[in-house]
Chains A and B, each alone.
Chain A
Amino acid sequence: MRGPAPTHPQDLRAAEYALGVLEGAALAEAEALTRSDAAFADAVETWELRLAVLADYVPEVRPPDRVWEAIRLRLSPLAANDNARWWNSIDVWRGLTAASVAVGAIAIGILAAPNPGAVVQPKPPAAFAAAPWTAVVAAPDGGPKLAAITVDNDLKRIVVTPLALTEEQAKSLELWVVPADGSAPRSLGLVKAGGSTVLANVTLPVDAKGAALAISREPTGGSPTGLPTGPILGVGALAVS
């Protein structure tokens, strides 16, 4: 514990806000203060934590097991950051299966192995002569495969081959890499629906291992915010080809 804190001049207002009793103009004012006055926000936090001890008055009730199961299914690595909300609305990660990766690799024609079984378990990357990474971006819930993508970091080139992408008027299609560490998706560039797009001089800004590629529909020219703003059309895991 650190030393006693000075009392914020509006500490009472912070307490009322934390308790949730404010309404109307007083509420709006307090909300604005939490954004503009860090000390006020701290005072609110302090009150929230003080009052939270009231929860100890509540008897424990064991929740049904299905709750944890539902949570567990939603603990995507992507969820571990504040910017991951964009994918919460659609369960795109269901489309992220080993099968889709394998089919994608075939679609791209990279796998020369005669044994299809080898497709399911991608070989580890060679220490030298790094193999390109591939991904098939598929619509959620077993939907259509939208695009096959190869990422060749040595050649600094990403090739996007549309399989079932559609353009919409006044919209662009944007390719994203979703890092494995749960940090925010990063734009790789815009892609076309009518033919292959070659993104030259582009390398993955993050480790490909465990990462995924996603395509979203954005305003013309791409997302204005640097994060996906439109619907995520599909996602696909990166795998070594």
Chain B
Amino acid sequence: MTMSYAASPTIHGRIAPRGGEAAAVPGSRRRTGGRGMTTDLDRERLKTVLGQVAAGDRNAMADLYRATSAKLYGVCLRIVRDDAEAEEVLQEVYLTVWKRAASYDPAKASPITWLAAVARNRAIDRLRASGARVVRSSGPIDGALDLADPAPDAESQLGHSEDSRRLKGCLDRLEPDHAGLIRRAFFGGLSYSDLAQAAGRPLGTVKTWIRKGLMNLKVCLES
């Protein structure tokens, strides 16, 4: 995937308002009737829907939620590991999307990738704000439960399966230790020091592995 560095409003602070906009969403928990969950919107349809959301279309927002909330809730749950917290983060994610859909650039990523980035950043923000960024294992990193590496959805219906396959191929080419650390940092919101402690490795080693992993990932993804 080629990326553009063309001048544009930066996504950081937009996708990832770290600490900046961490106001908690009051938990409005009114119940409502069931609604069907469909995941059959393809990439192009999602782009259209995101455009409508950017224009303030509430029906489009409902479509977007139906199509993507299971994926994003899965991401939130995986990161914050608490149902109630994940529900609140999911609210924040969609309210962020509602406000910032106009900043989505189809030239840079598929809609679901952009949405996943929003979800991940919000969830990590929450994790850090709640002080829950604990190192869960002092043993070898590969033994940690949260390194369990669930298989990607067999057939993603949300339109980034090509990106996903490519990334998976590139991750598979990394040293398993390097890829494992990257995954753990991604889902756990862990700093270098946290990772070193969790992996029982020297800080320098962890830094070297992550950096090598990231650079090899880049080379692979851009090849």
Contacts and interface: CB of A to CB of B under 8 A. Distances in A.
Nearest to A6: B5
Interface string A24-58: 00000001001100110111111111111111111
A56 B2 contact: no
A15 B218 contact: yes
B183 A45 contact: no
A68 interface: yes
Contacts of B2: 1-5
B199 to A, nearest CB: 12
A17 B24 CA distance: 24
Interface residues of B, number: 94
Interface of A: 1-6, 8, 11-12, 15-16, 19-23, 31, 34-35, 38-39, 41-75, 77, 79-82, 84-85, 88-89, 91, 181-182
Nearest to A65: B32
A82 B6 CA distance: 23
Given A15-B215, A21-B210, A88-B23, 6 more contacts: A1-B4, A19-B186, A41-B13, A49-B117, A53-B166, A69-B30
A128 to B, nearest CB: 31
Nearest to B26: A91
B43 interface: no
B3 A5 contact: yes
A67 B32 CA distance: 10
Contacts of B107: 1-2
Contacts, number: 236
Interface in B152-196: 152-153, 156, 160-161, 163-164, 166-167, 182-183, 185-187, 189-193, 195
Instruction: Sort A-B residue pairs by CB-CB distance and give the 8 closest, nearest first.
Output: A41-B10, A55-B116, A45-B11, A52-B117, A60-B70, A56-B164, A63-B73, A70-B28
A48 B108 CA distance: 11
A19 B182 contact: yes
A150 B64 CA distance: 39
B200 interface: no
Contact of A8 (B5, B70, B98, B190): B5
Contacts of A46: 3, 5, 108
B160 A53 contact: yes
B69 A81 contact: no
5 contacts: A55-B119, A57-B150, A61-B70, A74-B95, A82-B99
A52 B217 contact: no
A195 B10 CA distance: 48
Contacts of B70: 60-63
A238 B152 CA distance: 51
Interface string B1-33: 111111110111101101001010111111111
B115 to A, nearest CB: 8
B4 A20 contact: no
Contact of A54 (B61, B100, B183, B221): B183
Nearest to A80: B56
Contacts of B163: 53, 56
B90 interface: yes
B74 interface: yes
A202 B38 CA distance: 50
B214 A16 contact: yes
Contact of A12 (B167, B185, B214): B214
Contacts of A15: 214-215, 218
Interface string B108-122: 110001101101110
A21 B185 contact: yes
B12 A45 contact: yes
Contacts of A22: 191-192
B210 to A, nearest CB: 6
Given A4-B222, A48-B15, A67 B91 contact: yes
A166 to B, nearest CB: 26
A86 to B, nearest CB: 11
